[in-house]
Amino acid sequence: MPLYEHVFIARQDLSNAQAEGLVEHFGAVLADNGGKVIGQEYWGLKTMAYKINKNRKGHYAFLKTDAPAPAVQEMERLMRLHDDVMRVLTIKVNAHEDGLSVQMKKREERGERR
């Protein structure tokens, strides 16, 4: 099956638990349609470069998946219909990188400096 990476931004007024719940929910949608989530990361509440729907911040989440195209299309459709999700980006990749994403590595480096 093809490999995909998904990033989505949720509204800033959600709690961290609710934002992480969205990651679980969309992972379950993917699993119900024949795909599987290989890895998931919650990047936290970040300031955006410009306002989206009158929000200056957003909860960022990242998913690594192995799923057929119809499963990905269904998950994207549900993400775009969900009121709490502001933006969605899906990229098809040849192979997933091992370990943490660049965003999570930045957070670890920042923790060591303090």
What confidence tens digit (pLDDT) does each residue in 36-54 have? Answer: 999 998 988 999 999 998 9
What confidence tens digit (pLDDT) does each residue in 45-101 have? Answer: 999 999 998 999 999 999 999 999 999 999 999 999 999 999 999 999 998 878 777
Q: How far apart (Å, rounded) are the C-alpha atoms in residues 5 and 104?
A: 15
Residue of 99, 92, 20 lying closest to 61 (CA atoms): 20
**Domain range for 83:** 3-113
Q: Tell me the CATH number at 17.
A: 3.30.70.60
Q: How long a stretch of residues is the chain?
A: 114
Domain count along the chain: 1
Give 6: exposed, middle or buried? Use CB within 10 Å, 0-12, 13-18, 19+. Answer: buried
The pLDDT value given to residue 107:
63
Tokens of 74: 């269904």
pTM for this structure? 0.84
Residue of 57, 59, 63 lying closest to 75 (CA atoms): 63
